[in-house]
Amino acid sequence: MGLNVRRLLVGSPLETSQAVHERLSKVKALAVFSSDALSSVAYATEEMLLVLVLAGTGALALSWPIALAIATLLVIVATSYYQGIHAYPSGGGAYIISKENLGVMFGLVAGAALLIDYILTVAVSVSAGVAAITSAVPSLYDHRVALGILFIVLITWGNLRGVRESGTIFAIPTYLFIVSFLMMIGTGLARAMTGQIIRAPVRETIEPTHALTLFLILRAFSSGCTALTGIEAISNGVMAFKPPEARNASRTLAAMATLLVTMFLGITWLSRAYGIVPVEGETVVSQLARAIFGDGSPFYFLVQATTAFILILAANTSFNGFPRLASLMARDRFLPRQLTNLGDRLVFSNGILILGGMAAALLALFGGSTHALIPLYAVGVFLSFTLAQVGLVRHSLREREPGWRRNIIINGTGAVATGVVLLVIAITKFIHGAWIVIVLMPMLVRMFQAIHHHYQMVRRQLSIRTPDIPLPQPVRHHRVIVPISGVHRGTLKALHYARSLSDDVTAVMVDVEPEQTQRVREQWEELNCSVPLVVLPSPYRSVQGPLIRYIDQVSASLGKGDTLTIVLPEFVPKRSWHYLLHNQTALLLKATLLYRRTEHNEVIVDVPYYLYEG
């Protein structure tokens, strides 16, 4: 039944040979990998204005020059990643570039930054999407956390169904968003050129609370730099594209960057031209759409609906980037190797589920507030940008491929620019929440190192080529112990198996209930079995304690080449809920014996006896 439900929700399993057919075309890839970057225009301008307005409405005039600086930075970073795609066509983005060119430690720092960024992307995007919904339907405002978690669950489900299917699901809303935003920008510009601008009414007088200082301007700049989030996703997922992967990925990146610059500058310029001031309860995009199309216009609701969709679906970028990056790091043994496993639908299901759970928890922790989450957001993004571009400079210096001098200039300029922005963000947003990410990244790097050390230790100890660890010796004689609780068919099956291993077999019973023990003694004599029965006293009614002590005594008496085999009889009910009706003694005993450290040669064997419905 559980398998049928899973098939209904996720779909039928796909063969490994179908993986190449699950690749994305450029049209679908733009929707899958660009929704995060494109959706950021819905809140990047607003985050910038929210800082500037602290110095009064007059300071909002600085939004345009700040936006031009951000757009220039965006072009530099996009160009750098365009080169990175061709230099590393197998994907991996900042993690692979940093690890191979700057060293493992820098690669781990980039990996930690990106993983944190992907989790934050889901939380921020969904909370911003819910804010767009509550702007149009204010009665839903108090339910924003529940709505956000519901959307995360739905996106997780869509991604578990497979890359190509999720691309189909999310393509239409993404392109509707692009069309509606370009239509709003085009209409707004047309009205501005013809003098038909109707400025938004001022709802309240905003008194300056901060002086217009360089620090405040830099803080506004760092807030607006959220427009760059998600731009690295394509370089991380190159192998999700149809062949030729690098060419298709780089062209999709160019299209995304062009749309992103156009929409971000358009929204920022129109917000200033129409006199939009950020207010509590309604987004800047909502105010702008009202001013351009009119309150209650179908086009207004189209913009709000598509904005909500793209902001929520922007989380889909992380659901493609996080599992792929996690699988690469797990392949290098810095994360649990289960993250490399492809699920039934040829996606990294474990990574998808982990991302969905962590993002939902983060959204609930911060009350679904976009403004509370934003300060945590950009530190990891710009750290990975900087490391990737420094790594590309080292790559160009080492490989000296055609155009390597030009590449060094571009990547070097990008590294300096994003490094400065990183410093600005870390300083201006430190007390507003950025400190959490700054503290968390070293902890993650230490965790990666601990995981890697464990895998290295396991590999060394399991290798038959490790000279200082003796190899297991051949088994010359089995000494077998069969713990029993009664005489039944399961016991007989275990005894038959034990006798097939050795003639040196002993049955052992712990005397917990004297009456039951006496019945077993009588049944054992009637069985006329050649296997001796040893009864262990247990004054405190413990089964495991006396049995483990007996096994230790037998183990200590083993000779060279002897192996102690513990055969555990166990009956298996037909229905899973039937387990609740029985003691789990065999299960507990298995766990105790398995994790019990001993210097002697011991083997644990489980002999199941399957029950049927009678």
Domain boundaries, the chain: 25-455, 477-610
Q: Is the pLDDT of residue 20 over 50?
A: no
In this predicted structure, which of 207-211, 457-461, 490-494 has the lowest mean pLDDT?
207-211
Q: Which residues of 548-563 are buried (b: 16+ CB within 10 A; e: fewer)?
A: eebbeebbeeeeeebb
Average pLDDT over residues 329-356: 87
Name which of 583, 592, 587 is nearest 606 in CA terms.
587
Q: How far apart are the first and last CA of the chain?
A: 21
Are β-strands 477-483 and 602-610 bridged in parallel, bridged antiparallel, or unpaired?
unpaired
Specify the DSSP class assigned to residue 565: E
Question: Is 17's pLDDT higher than 50?
Answer: no
Query: Poorest-confidence range of 370-379, 535-544, 561-570?
Result: 370-379
How far apart CA 228 and CA 73 sit, in angstroms, is 9
Mean pLDDT of 565-581: 84
Cis bond upstream, residue 244 (ω within 30)? yes
Per the CB < 8 A criterion, the answer to whether 60 and 49 are in contact is yes
pLDDT at 304: 84
pLDDT at residue 202, rounded to an integer: 55
The stretch 116-145 carries a mean pLDDT of: 84
pLDDT tens, residue by residue, 493-512: 999 999 999 999 999 999 98
pLDDT value of position 497: 93
Across-strand partners of 562?
Answer: 477
Q: pLDDT at position 28, please?
A: 83
Mean pLDDT of 219-233: 83
**The architecture CATH gives domain 477-610:** 3-Layer(aba) Sandwich (3.40)
pLDDT band at 22, cuts 50/70/90? low
Euclidean distance between CA atoms 418 and 428, whole angstroms: 15
CATH number of the domain at 25-455, please?
1.20.1740.10
Contact 119, 362 (CB under 8 A): yes
- Band (pLDDT 50/70/90 cuts) for residue 91 is low
User: Rounded to an integer, what distance in angstroms lies between the CA atom of residue 52 and that of residue 58?
Assistant: 9
pLDDT exceeds 60 at position 8: no
pLDDT digits (tens, 9 = 90+) for 163-219: 555 566 668 888 899 999 999 999 999 988 887 776 655 555 566 778 888 888 888
Region 478-493: mean pLDDT is 91
Distance in angstroms (rounded) separating the CA atoms of residues 575 and 573: 6
CB 77 within 8 A of CB 414: yes
Helix (H) or strand (E) run with residue 435 in it: helix 435-462
How far is the C-alpha of 178 from the C-alpha of 390, rounded, in Å?
33
Sequence-separated (6 or more) residues with CB below 8 Å from residue 245: 89, 238, 239
Distance CA 313, CA 311 (A): 5
pLDDT tens digit string along 507-540?
999 998 888 899 999 999 888 888 999 999 988 8
What is the model's pLDDT at position 19?
A: 46
What is the distance between the alpha carbons of residues 489 and 436, in angstroms, rounded to a whole number? Answer: 60
What is the pairing mode between strands 477-483 and 505-511? parallel
How far apart are alpha carbons 459 and 588 in whole angstroms?
29
